[in-house]
Amino acid sequence: MDAGTRRILVVAGLWAFGLLLVVGKLYQVQIRQHEFYKEKARSYIEHKRTMQAARGTISDRNGEPLAVDLMHYSLAAKPAQLVEKRAVARKISKIINESYDDVYSKINNKKSFVYLAHRLTPEQAAQIRDLSDKSLLLERKFSRSYPFKEVGAHLVGYCDNDNKPGAGIEFSYDEYLHGKDGSSIFLRDAHGGQFPSMDLPTREPQNGKHIETTIDIVYQGILEAELGIAVNQHKADNGSAVLLNPRTGEVLAMANYPQFNPNEYSKYPVKNFKNQAVSDLYEPGSTFKMVSLAMCLEQLHLNMDSELVFCENGRYQLAQKTVRDHQKFAYLTARQVYENSSNVGVIKLAEKFPAAQFYRYARDFGFGEKTGIDLPAEINGILHKPDKFSKYSVSYMSIGYEVGVTPLQLASAYAAVANDGKLMQPYVVRRVVDESGRVVKENRPTELRTVISRETARQMKEVLKGVVENGTGQSARVTGVTIAGKTGTAQKIDRSTNSYTSENHIASFAGFFPVENPKFVLLVVVNNPRNGQYYGSQVAAPVFRRIAQRIVGLAVEDEPVSDQNLARIALPEMKNMLPAVEGMSVKNATKTLEKRNLKVDITGDGDTVFRQEPEAFSQFKEGQLVTLYTETRPLAETGKMPMVVGKSMKEALRILGEWDVQVEIEGSGIVIKQLPVAGSKMDNSGKIKLICNPA
């Protein structure tokens, strides 16, 4: 084979090898890695834009808004695509009320994306759209607002800047509240511009569901106001109060002090977020004597007026410790033992109880286990089992030591007495409702068990009524209303010595009213009062009295008020505040306003209210007109022709100006006809005709 032939064969071989490599690469790219490169190309072309869903509202039992979502916009830019950056910065700074230097510093770079402002109003967003700059992007967002600020904050909870829940009902019912974000697919052109895809579906956001609570915001305001006064007056560390409906287990109010404002939650220490009523333990002291009282009546069948107890002149030795009374009592009837809260007398009665029996009664009243309330961070409390009892455990537990309870547990136990012996499960949410009004979840009164007989409960009511009328609870008396209850004063443990100290106390009062047909159970706890007074009768019982007076519609001076409806005297401005309906669907907003006998005028053809006049939470009068401005979703988000009939020519052009579409106008004034019709699919190549007539 000559040299020429060899060269030809070598070249041919190289060509064949090269061709084989090309074919192999084509096979690898087009066949084996087809899906990989297809997705890679799609990622360059397609861009998924999220449409945030509105979080559901939370209201009190009367429809007053406790938590609402307010609509706003975030403004972003693509600095790499901005041409006249200084001119753009000047225009934007005027719209968003930021300095020119700040705006220019954010866009004077080659970044692909940067946020310029958050929480812009719909009006500001409209001005941004008028700039017709494709390098500026607007994102519709929602932020949480709490119209009553501190009032009810521990119950409702809060959401962070990303609308993520941090506590309370916001946290425990987040699966219903958070909704489901929507999305739309945008295509990028060669210049980086974006336009919606007509072939890929748009998934509309599904707003969260509405939560209707058992709370009455007026009662809540009363509890928080009076509790705050007491904590500050007595220079206490903190305090809690719980108001229940004993028949149903509904929580009507639950207060803690110190408070926090969920609209500005980041300004407060984390400890302020804690709902002490369900998450804090304390030794209840004499309010726990209701357990031994139940056993005296139901197990010993004592005649409370003939059974005499020698109270050892106020001093009783238990091993190495001396139990003292606040007075040197000698002989007292069993009734007087409880009316006067004699520790010695209660211990001598409790010594007759077997440990297992005492434990069973305490457990049946709900101590040592969670109540099951639909709030986060509830704790069990402490109730040791009988095999852990010492020789003196029943004695100490009978007067409220060696046991740890939450305020809610104690309030629930007293509610069982008020409810003829039936223990109900407490709850704070009545129902969950979707946007169509369909109830998707409903909490109903749940009887956990019968703790004591109806007759025992009746006798306990009489004894506890005597505490208020004749004994240590007299400072809880309310003229014209029968009150039953029990004071509590407990020494606290000094952590440095691990022993009880006479310097630090917990003052409390638990009771219910009216005794004949109890409607309310109320517990007040004040932790570590340090202003000279520390007994429950001095610190907590007066708070109970003031709250009860306001709830039944009596002035603090015991003078009847003319308004029979309780609590307008508590927070008079709350009941005639204009509801916040921004972010609601038009249907739900209209329904909410009409329930308050307000007239509604709707401006725009959108499905969502973005602004209301007068503004939310301003005072209103019955029959007043409220104007709702609805948002038509921008054309660039939907890919569909919006409704512009009835709008001014200028407004129609503003809406349609978001796309580079050709608009033909016939006439002037108000748009009376549009082609294509509203809802038709559109793209950048489409033409639109508007026929106008003067108004």
pLDDT of residue 32: 65
User: Would you identify the CATH topology of the domain 49-213?
Assistant: Penicillin-binding protein 2a (Domain 2) (3.90.1310)
Would the pLDDT of 565 be above 80?
Answer: no
Lowest mean pLDDT among 356-370, 393-407, 630-644: 630-644
Cβ neighbours of residue 590 closer than 8 Å, sequence gap 6 or more? 600, 602, 628
- Work out the number of other CB atoms within 10 angstroms of the CB of residue 570: 22
Reply yes or no on whether the pLDDT at 189 is more than 70. no
Q: Is the pLDDT of residue 557 over 50?
A: no
The larger pLDDT score, comparing residue 199 to residue 366, is at 366
Region 183-203 average pLDDT: 61
Residues 538, 378, 284, CA angle at the centre, nearest 5°? Answer: 25
CB 394 within 8 A of CB 358: yes
Mean pLDDT of 633-662: 63
- Percent of the chain clearing pLDDT 90 (strictly above): 59
More confident: 284 or 8: 284
- DSSP labels, 379-418: ---B---GGG--TTHHHHHHTT-S-BB-HHHHHHHHHHHH
Is residue 605 within 8 A of residue 152, CB to CB? The reply is: no
Distance of CA 321 to the CA centre of its chain: 46
Give 523-538 pLDDT, tens digit per residue. Answer: 999 999 999 999 999 9
Mean pLDDT of 442-452: 98
Residue in the block written with tokens 């238990």: 318
pLDDT at 572: 37
Residue 608 CA to residue 53 CA, distance in Å, equals: 11
Instruction: Tokens 């692909």: give the residue.
Output: 112
Out of 84-88, 435-439, 534-538, 593-597, least confident range: 593-597
Would you mind telling me the total number of residues written for the chain in this entry?
695
Region of poorest pLDDT, from 484-488, 562-566, 676-680: 562-566
Residue with tokens 């007056």: 233
Percent pLDDT > 70 in the chain is 82
Per-residue pLDDT averaged across 313-336, rounded?
A: 95
Cβ-in-10-Å burial (0-12, 13-18, 19+) of 653 comes to middle
The residues, any chain, with a CB within 8 Å of residue 595's CB and separated by 6 or more, are 63
Q: What does the alpha-carbon distance between residue 198 and residue 184 come to, in Å, rounded to a whole number?
A: 10
Q: Is the pLDDT of residue 585 over 90?
A: no
Structure confidence at residue 171 (pLDDT):
97
Domain 640-693 is in which class?
A: alpha beta
Give the pair of three-digit tokens for residue 423: 């223990």
Provide the pLDDT for residue 586: 83
Question: Does 36 score more than 70 pLDDT?
Answer: no
Mean pLDDT value of segment 256-275: 95
Tokens at residue 47, please?
């861009």
Whether 632 shows a pLDDT value over 60: the answer reads no
Half-sphere exposure of 466 (CA within 13 A, CB side): 17
Report the pLDDT value the prediction gives residue 41, as an integer from 0 to 100. 53
Mean pLDDT of 400-414: 98
- pTM value is 0.77
pLDDT attached to residue 436:
86
**What pLDDT, on a 0 to 100 scale, did the predictor assign at position 574?**
46
Radius of gyration (C-alpha) of the chain in whole angstroms: 35
With CA atoms as reference, report the closest residue to 680 among 644, 627, 631, 648: 644
Which SS3 state, helix, strand or coil, does residue 664 take?
strand
- The 10s digit of each residue's pLDDT in 367-387 is 999 999 999 999 999 999 999
Please give the C-alpha separations between residue 688 and each of 133, 194, 668, 682, in angstroms, as whole numbers. Answer: 21, 20, 15, 9
The two three-digit tokens of residue 616, written as one number: 């939310």
CATH code of the domain occupying 577-631:
3.30.10.20
Model confidence at 684: pLDDT above 60:
no
Paired with 240 in beta bridges are 256, 525
Task: Round the average pLDDT of the chain to a whole number and report it.
Answer: 86
